[in-house]
Amino acid sequence: MKKGLVNELGGPTKVVELLGWKGVPGSVQRVSNWNKRGIPPSVLLEFPHVFSVAHDEDQKSRPRTRAA
């Protein structure tokens, strides 16, 4: 998953809201760190509805290659 996805989704505070973590101490900082470290695979699997839309948009922007 590419870095910067958190910002594409509206920033750390917005992602915390989308994940239902609002009010959880340290959650905004945790999500902010994902811009640098990447989003943990366990989070991607637990919340596919949050990250699949951005992933789908990313796939549309990539050039398609033909299989040999």
- Could you report the per-residue pLDDT of 26-62, keeping only the tens digit for each? 999 999 999 989 999 999 999 999 988 655 555 455 5
pTM above threshold 0.75: no
Q: How many independent structural domains does the chain possess?
A: 1
In a domain, 49, yes or no: yes
Q: Which domain holds residue 37?
A: 5-61
Residue with tokens 């989070």: 43
In a domain, 67, yes or no: no
> CB–CB of 16/61 below 8 Å?
no
In a domain, 11, yes or no: yes
What's the pLDDT score for residue 52?
Answer: 81
pLDDT reading at 66 higher than 80:
no
In a domain, 16, yes or no: yes
In a domain, 24, yes or no: yes
In a domain, 68, yes or no: no
Residue with tokens 């699949």: 52
In a domain, 38, yes or no: yes
Average pLDDT on 13-30 reads 96
